[in-house]
Structure 1
Amino acid sequence: MKKLTLIFTMAISALATKAQLKTTAVCPVFNVDVLEGTINNDLSAKSTLGEVKTTFPCFTDLTETSSGNGCIGAFYKDKDISFFTERGYIEIGEKFKGKLSLPLMGASRNSLFKWLGYPKIKDVNWDAFQTKYGILILYYNKANKINKLQLSSKTTDTIKLCE
Structure 2
Amino acid sequence: MKRLFSLLLCMGLVTVGMGQLKAKVACPDFYVDVLDGTVNGLKPSNTQNEIKEKFPCFTSAVEESQEAKCGGGIFFKTKDLYFYTKRKYVEVGPKFIGKTSIPILGTRRGSHFSRLGNPTIKDDTWEAYEMQYGTLVLHFDVAGPNGKVKYFQFSTLGSDGLNLCE
Judge same fold: TM > 0.5, yes or no: yes
SS in 2 for 1:43: coil
Amino acid corresponding to residue 60 of structure 1 in structure 2: T
Q: Which residue of 1 aligns with 2:148?
A: 145
SS in 1 for 2:71: coil
Partner Cα distance (1:111, 1:68) in 2: 37
Gaps of 5+ in 2: none
Report deviation, 1:68. 4.9
The one-character-per-residue Cα deviations of 1:94-132 (angstroms, maximum 9, x if unpaired) are 110000100111011121001100011111111110111
Report deviation, 1:65. 4.0
Q: Which residue of 1 aligns with 2:77?
A: 77
SS in 1 for 2:118: coil
Count of matched residue positions in the alignment of Structure 1 and Structure 2? 162
CA RMSD in angstroms, aligned pairs only: 1.4
Partner Cα distance (2:148, 2:161) in 1: 26
SS in 2 for 1:127: strand
User: Does the CA contact (< 8 Å) of 2:128 and 2:135 recur in 1?
Assistant: yes
Amino acid corresponding to residue 82 of structure 1 in structure 2: Y
Amino acid corresponding to residue 134 of structure 1 in structure 2: G
Q: Describe how 1:1-163 pairs up with structure 2 within 5 A.
A: 1-40=1-40, 42-66=41-65, 67-142=67-142, 143-163=146-166
Amino acid corresponding to residue 63 of structure 1 in structure 2: V
| TM-score scaled by length of structure 1 | 0.93
Specify whether residues 68 and 96 from structure 1 end up closer, same or farther in structure 2 by C-alpha distance, changes over 3 A only. Answer: closer
Report deviation, 1:64. 1.3
Partner Cα distance (2:25, 2:101) in 1: 25
Specify whether residues 97 and 68 from structure 1 end up closer, same or farther in structure 2 by C-alpha distance, changes over 3 A only. Answer: closer
Amino acid corresponding to residue 155 of structure 1 in structure 2: G
Partner Cα distance (1:68, 1:111) in 2: 37
Partner Cα distance (2:150, 2:50) in 1: 27
Identical counterparts, % of pairs: 41
Partner Cα distance (1:137, 1:15) in 2: 53
Partner Cα distance (1:152, 1:146) in 2: 17
Gaps of 5+ in 1: none
| TM-score scaled by length of structure 2 | 0.91
Report deviation, 1:75. 0.8
Amino acid corresponding to residue 54 of structure 2 in structure 1: T
Report deviation, 1:25. 1.3
